[in-house]
């Protein structure tokens, strides 16, 4: 029986995902495997970096809107007061409120400051009644 060479078929199998790479990274088996592993690691790192970038974007948006307020409130104080008053709004939602309805964010922050300064539990704020009225959130 004659010997069959599987060179082209085996090469196709190995280089399926590395066809767009340049040079030895698309031709040689060992470098193909190394490059594939490196690409997977890089993709995971980039997904993590994307999460960090979006979080920093949301924080900068909130800071920009809060900075326009006449009463000086800092981002850290706002987030702390949201947490202590049990308003479960994450940074993404707060930044969307800041972009779409900046006045609503001012009112929320002012209400939180005044309620927090009184040191009295306000069920209306916790339930979101006043916030829903002001911002017309359904």
Establish if 62 belongs to a structural domain.
yes
State the pLDDT confidence band at 135, using cuts at 50, 70 and 90: low
**Distance spanning both ends of the chain, measured CA to CA:** 77
53 within some domain: yes
User: Rg of the Cα trace of the chain?
Assistant: 27
**pLDDT confidence of residue 55:** 95
60 or 138, greater pLDDT: 60
Residue 121 to residue 12: CA distance in whole angstroms: 68
Q: What is the pLDDT of residues 48-91, one digit of tens each?
A: 999 999 999 999 999 888 888 777 778 888 888 888 877 788 89
What's the domain count of the chain?
1
Domain that holds residue 25: 14-116
Res. 47: pLDDT tops 80: yes
Domain presence at residue 27:
yes
Is the pLDDT at 39 greater than 80? The verdict is: yes
Q: Which residues contact 131 (CB under 8 A, 6 or more apart)?
A: 87, 104, 107, 108, 111, 125, 137
pLDDT for 116 equals 56
pLDDT at 105 over 70: yes
**Is the whole-model pTM more than 0.85?**
no
Question: Considering the domain boundaries, does residue 84 fall inside one?
Answer: yes
pLDDT of residue 92: 93
**Is 7 a member of any domain?**
no
pLDDT at 60: 93
| Interval 7-37: pLDDT, tens | 777 777 766 667 777 788 877 778 888 888 9
């Amino acid at each position: 029986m004659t010997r069959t060479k599987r060179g082209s078929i085996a090469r196709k199998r190995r280089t399926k995902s590395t066809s767009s790479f340049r040079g030895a990274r698309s031709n040689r088996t060992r470098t193909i495997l190394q490059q594939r592993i490196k690409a997977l690691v890089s993709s995971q790192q980039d997904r993590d970096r994307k999460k960090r970038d979006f979080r920093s974007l949301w924080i900068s948006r909130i800071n920009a809107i809060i900075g326009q307020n006449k009463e000086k409130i800092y981002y850290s104080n706002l987030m702390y007061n949201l947490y202590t008053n049990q308003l479960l709004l994450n940074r993404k939602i707060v930044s969307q409120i800041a972009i779409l309805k900046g006045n609503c964010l001012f009112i929320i922050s002012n209400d939180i400051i005044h309620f927090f300064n009184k040191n009295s539990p306000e069920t209306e704020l916790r339930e979101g009644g006043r916030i829903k009225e002001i911002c017309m959130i359904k």
